[in-house]
Every structure is written in structure tokens, then in C-alpha cells.
């Protein structure tokens, strides 16, 4: 792996963590980001930062992308000025953004016509896990292509699940996020009710965290809620972005969701009240306001 040069498009929170991780493992990283701050930070780690996508395409046959939304993924990869048009035949794109399955399928189709292969990757984890190589990867694509790049995937992730065809990893990511975000929304409603009824927040958490209604995100995130800490790992604005992707996916599939629109409305309200940059557990603040209480002790 130390002899490999990896292109990295997107040097923000997750991309920046992956950048550091690869550099620490002796992998040369050639990166690009439209944010001067992110580009400067990555250069400080030791990455070679190119001013254009063309520079990455020229210098790397393996390109990892970590981008904010489907529109940016399309801008980066498709069209006459996109990365696929500039990349060399034989290049592999490892696309890790949280986007809809139709977008990654379109990227893979255009790439295949240009002699470029694509792995559909959905990741679970936050910047600290990216930095430590402790992400979880869902990977869609041919087994032979996954095997070809398994060493790199194992540098970045502690667990790799093979999901099937292109689009399957993005589908799993969105379905999982509906469950995860929904779990936090329900936990927020229930937790505030418990406190409203007179329960001590810490005692309530200690009991619920080992009870049947718990979820992984509740167990890991609600200790901070009890302390009034909403420092972002996964931002409320990103939760809303993912929920909108879920609603779009359901619409495309002509599947009538019933809970997803309610959860989306809660997160839209949280964003509109100025909580977009807080952790996605900030949805609890709407319940606190309605109940006239605060969970965190002053």
C-alpha cells in the first residue's frame, strides 16, 4: 500500500480523516477540495493538494470521493468537465458519499463506457472513526473489484460488508439512516416525557440504555444530551438532507412512507430554529421547549 497513490476528492470532516489515516499508513494522497481551508489543512497533513480535478485524475488510478450531496457528486463526475472525462482508463472510483442509489448507478454507467470501474461505498462513523480507520463500509460492486482494492478498504474501515450490485450500498445507507434518525426522534420524545414526569435525567438514561427500547445512537449520544452538549458529530442539517433523500427514494419507488415525513418535519423544524450546525440529537430541544423543561442540569 505504501507505493500506491490515492486520489481523494473532498477533504472535509470524513474526507480529512481518511486523508490523515492513509498518510499515516504511508499512502501518498493527491487531494482536491473547493474549500481553501480544507485544502490547506490536508496539505498540512502531507497530502499533495491539486488546484483542479484534472490534477487528481492525472496522478491517481484509484480515486476516493467523499462529497456532500448528489448534485455535487454529479458535478464532480459527470459531463465534459467531470472527473470521468479526465480520468485514465483503468481508474477505479471508490465513491463514499451519502447519495441516492440512482446517482451512483448513473456514475457507474458513464464510467464503464470510459473504461473506468466504480465501487459503491456507504460508510458509517464520524470523523474520529475516519481518523482511526474504524469506519464501517458497505460496499457494492463486483467481488473481484472489491478484492482488488481490499487492502485500501481495510486501511479505512474496521469492517467491510459486501452488499451486492451498484446502488445496494447507498440503499442500505439510506434505510439505515431512516432507522437511526427515527430512533433518536422517538428517544427524544420519550426521554423528555420521562423527565417531565419527574425522572432524574441521568437515572433515566442509565436505565433506558440497558432496556429494550435502546438503540446504538441512543446509548452513544444521549449522555451528551444529559450534559447539554450538542457538539456536532453528525449535524442536524445533514440528518435533514438524508431524510429528504429518503423521501425522494420512496417517491421514486412509489412506496408510501408514513413515519418518514413526520420525522423529516421534526428535523426541518429543528433546522429552521437555528439548530442545523448542532448534533442531530438537537431535535430534543423542540420537545424541551414544548414541555417547558430542560434535560441538562445547569
Which residues belong to the active site?
173
Side-chain half-sphere CA neighbours of 10 within 13 A? 22
Angle formed at CA 155 by CA 141 and CA 32, multiple of 5 degrees? 80
Cα–Cα distance measured from residue 75 to residue 82, given in angstroms and rounded to the nearest whole number: 6
Nearest to 58 by CA among 48, 45, 44: 48
- CB contact set of 113 (below 8 Å; sequence gap of 6+): none
Could you give the C-alpha distances from 87 to 53, 104, 112, in angstroms and in order? 9, 17, 12
Residue 270 · residue 230 · CB < 8 Å: no
Amino acid at each position: 500500500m505504501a507505493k500506491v497513490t490515492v486520489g481523494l476528492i473532498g477533504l472535509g470532516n470524513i474526507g480529512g480523516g481518511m486523508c490523515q489515516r492513509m498518510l499515516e499508513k504511508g499512502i501518498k494522497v493527491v487531494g482536491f477540495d473547493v474549500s481553501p481551508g480544507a485544502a490547506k489543512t490536508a496539505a498540512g497533513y502531507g497530502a499533495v493538494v491539486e488546484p483542479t480535478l484534472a490534477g487528481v485524475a492525472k496522478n491517481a488510478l484509484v480515486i476516493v470521493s467523499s462529497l456532500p450531496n448528489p448534485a455535487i457528486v454529479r458535478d464532480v463526475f459527470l459531463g465534459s468537465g467531470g472527473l470521468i472525462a479526465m480520468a485514465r482508463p483503468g481508474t477505479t472510483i471508490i465513491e463514499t458519499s451519502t447519495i441516492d442509489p440512482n446517482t451512483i448507478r448513473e456514475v457507474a454507467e458513464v464510467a464503464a463506457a470510459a473504461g473506468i470501474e466504480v465501487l459503491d461505498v456507504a460508510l458509517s462513523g464520524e470523523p474520529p472513526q475516519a481518523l482511526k480507520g474504524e469506519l464501517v463500509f458497505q460496499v457494492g460492486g463486483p467481488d473481484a473489484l472489491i478484492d482488488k482494492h481490499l487492502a485500501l478498504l481495510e486501511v479505512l474501515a474496521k469492517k467491510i460488508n459486501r452488499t451486492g450490485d451498484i446502488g445496494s450500498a447507498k440503499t442500505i445507507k439510506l434505510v439505515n439512516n431512516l432507522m437511526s434518525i427515527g430512533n433518536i426522534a422517538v428517544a427524544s420524545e420519550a426521554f423528555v416525557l420521562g423527565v417531565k414526569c419527574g425522572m432524574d435525567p441521568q437515572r433515566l438514561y442509565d436505565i433506558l440504555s440497558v432496556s429494550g427500547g435502546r438503540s446504538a445512537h441512543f446509548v452513544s449520544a444521549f449522555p451528551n444530551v444529559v450534559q447539554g452538549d450538542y457538539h456536532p458529530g453528525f449535524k442536524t442539517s445533514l440528518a435533514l438532507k438524508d431524510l429528504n433523500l429518503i423521501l425522494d427514494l420512496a417517491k421514486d419507488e412509489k412506496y408510501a412512507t408514513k413515519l418518514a415525513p413526520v420525522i423529516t418535519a421534526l428535523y426541518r423544524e429543528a433546522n429552521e430554529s437555528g439548530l442545523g450546525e448542532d448534533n442531530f440529537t438537537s431535535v430534543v430541544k423542540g420537545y424541551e421547549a414544548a414541555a417547558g423543561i430542560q434535560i441538562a442540569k445547569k
